[in-house]
Structure 1
């Protein structure tokens, strides 16, 4: 019994011992804390030694000091400095390896200053195929990359500083990472570069003074950027430089409440990226605050509302809309219209963006009276047709003033392009069937008007002057264009340059350049004159023919070969321009000694100033173009212009094709027009042309009416009788009053029509009111009977009643004095 009990007790004790051993074996050991001090006062003097000794889950505390080593982290560890990055330095002993190279997951690196990994592709902290790591309060400087994540996801970077590296923070095929409150500055390339990485969140980071982009997303989608400060970054020469740059299929990103300022190139720039959302971002003082470019519709479809601002003005990024007006009341800072119809953009001042106005796949819109300056390109149309650009001023762009790509059937009228760094007007990539009329293109650093692979365009009455290269350049199969009545003056290379362009019709143009023309490549079928046709030429003669060839030194063909036996202002010799290029009817100036014919002043020059009027005498210009068909009632609407002329209408009796009307308000009477100061009080002097002289007159049109307005202020200030207001025309060396009727009025103006038989110089005049005094009736008085003594005949004064009048006056005076005495 006792022996049996003892045996059982021994078995129980053995069982308890075994269970105890199993329990100890299966319970994890508590995480250890391992210390490192380069002075030898702790467990280890090197971080790598501590890692080797550590187990997964341990904490390594590193005391202040300088540790010269390349650290490989292949275990789940918490590596933390005790006193922060300012006094805890880890410097790569080998510059060809990263300072911290992490391949494990769930690693924390906190509070180190890492430097010295300067070889290409090495980093201060390198996460390689590593996830769920935490990098906090580290400083990475003087490395090729400050912090680099390669195929690493779900990591958190907070409060780190990456400065003076080649690239600051770089995410490469790394997704679902969170970057908060980091600083990336003074790096040679980008501050933060996110490549082929999705679903990352960047919040409250400061990115400044980097030599390339601030934040650069490439082929990266569904990222969220919120409240980041991005400033003072410069360009790096890649495409178009920017501070937030989304190229090559970076889609569905959201940018909210970022502040982007003082960057050398762009503020926020999207290229080839779609479905991005921008909300409440502020862009200011960047060279170009905002821009979007794309090669197709999908790449232009972004959600960008007016809460985004450029230099405190809202961005208008209009997508799939129609029938709206964006004018000065909106205070728009930049306008993009994507797949829109019938948009009016008018009276805006737009500057410092990639494009001031950009239309993509948009039609039937009007861009009027805008001032667009200091953009990369001022106004751009891409894949857009049937739009009208009128009276806009574009200057000081870094590229073109107006740029049309793949855009046809647009009308550009009375625009001014000055001091742009490339072309004034550029028609490229099959921009066909456009009409350019009365535009001024001057002082641009490349060509005035450049047609590149663009055909069937019409250029009329444009002036291209003082451009660094060519006045007009047709190249790369720009065929079947018509150039007439243009002026190319004082351009640096050539007045006109043809390169591999065929079948163009070039006549009645004025060229006055040191070198007027160059023909390069294969150019066939170009025609340099029309048939001799009655009409005022650009040289002032009575016939249209070829072109007017001048040079500033007086050596132009039209100046040297000026023999004109028949007096038709066409050279008697043909001008062989180049092989296969002949102007058979080159123009010369008309003989000013011959008597003036109808339509000319006695000086032999045109009475109708129009295109030949000196620019210094033109206060404003308004133009419009209409196709004139026989039997049509043609109406030109000029009511949107600055001058007094509201419109011109007539019933056409013949086909004239596209005809441009041009209204110039003149500062004073032209030198070749004699004024008549006795002919009423002048309101304004205007020059009106409809086509060339004689295109529209009473010989081929009926009911030619000019609608005009006169301000009430002028009427009141000059005491004008409204019934005398009329229009008078200078024709055949005399002023002739036109039948004029008042047809309406508003709060500011009286409206009139005047009937004319043709077009030249006109005055609007009126006469002062004449006050007519009513005769004053004298009161009747009772006759006073007085006896008049007979006077001797010789004393008769010849003034009957004179004495009686004196008597009455004396009596009246006595009565008056008596009443004064009584008072």
Structure 2
């Protein structure tokens, strides 16, 4: 069947046993729908220089190629067709632009499911289901500015393969269960991969070769038979953020011969080799990545120089830790490591690497106890061959008085010795919460204080964010111990705490921050969706971010609280979202705050929104509360000053929900004024009970 004119409709035909099933040549604005096209020796539907055609709901079986577009067959729509058992290609697009290929089903096509080649630009491939191509499910070659979204591609050799396909956009595709690589980019620069799932493939999840200036964000890459994400052969200037890379059978995230890349806010876990490997890759930045439970090393640099590692958290359980390392540097000089958090964030280390081989690990205090008369602050570091390594060991001074802090020392137990000794030339900086030293020997390093040192809190107020006063942790620009969320001004972030949880539908999630130096004690919710491993982060802010107004009430603390990337957790996919926090009674008294007005407030939709806030308990120093929130963003803890007309409850007074009733004594002539006194007690109890009720209902 041949079409040469325009505005034709071809419907409900059975076309079989020809060279071409339907041939459309220089023919426009046709509708071809509902046809069955089988066993033709060349193409089921062949379109040449044909534009603005609608090809839909056709079934094409056992042709050489199912549907073929060539030589400026532009602006066509191909939707909801079924193509199977082609001896070559299901869809073939040659030198044709602006076509929409959507909601088609392709299976068991011999070579390729879809093949887009030779300057086929600006095409959109969306929501197609492709299975069983020997070479690739979707293959793009020498074609640019194409968009692939929502496609299900599985059971092929390559799921999605791009060769010289620059400026491509891949979003929400599932490239899974392929016998080779899930998503493959070769010399396909300036491409963007967002929210794709490249998992359960026999080879690598996502592979880049010779591709520069690409952005990979929020992709899930797990359970692959080789690497999770692999970039090599001058794949420079790429940015990888918020990706989850886990349970892969080799390295989780690997760079080889790839420079000036940025790896930030990724979760890399449970991979069978190192979590992150940089091999012969220089000038890269690794920031705020969470790397845990990987075999071999958490982060591994080999022959890689001039990299920056900032605020990365590395942790391994004992099951993975024996004989392995959190950080390994092999012939990798001049790398700046700032705020390396290890052992669930318990300890923090910074240094600049030299050309020697160095390993950073963690050792149990039970296995390697500290010297007699000394108590460890945050456990033992295991450091090998740190030849003249300038290092900083950080500590948390929360609940530590000045006497204890002044007593902090750095000790080392050489690997070849059982004796602990103070590290010569070490220097304590209480403003920066660190001890600096030049390390010259392999061994176990620990920050210690003398036994019997008391601890307390010299200042129980974390500061008034509206006045910009600082917290107990240093917020000077010289300190780099805070990690910063994308878009957040680092100069106003005074401290950070993170926690990682696997979010499974139907589970109760509780991020615990009670050991941190932030007012936030925890974040909890009931998950309704599977989200995988998700990082929760609390950033304490010294002032309001740009564009955020000050709250009209007195501010106790301002914070940024996020669980995953924006929108990962909200009232749409979680119930009972709560933030637990504490407020210092010292701040309440110093600022004459009406305790019943203390609440958490959230900045959303360009305004402050007070959240329902409830008191849980109190002790001598703090009151403990929780707030209910529909989502995460910028938060403040605020309160109002006592006025002449307010019924004030002092911070020192108990406002617990149960108020013990006094033991009544019968009034007699020997107890004058008892009735009046009982009335005063009764009124006081009523005021306290009402105050607490108001707080619960806020």
TM-score (norm 1): 0.39
Q: Highest relative contact order (Cα 8 Å, sep 6+), 1 or 2?
A: 2
Give TM-score, length-normalised by structure 2: 0.45
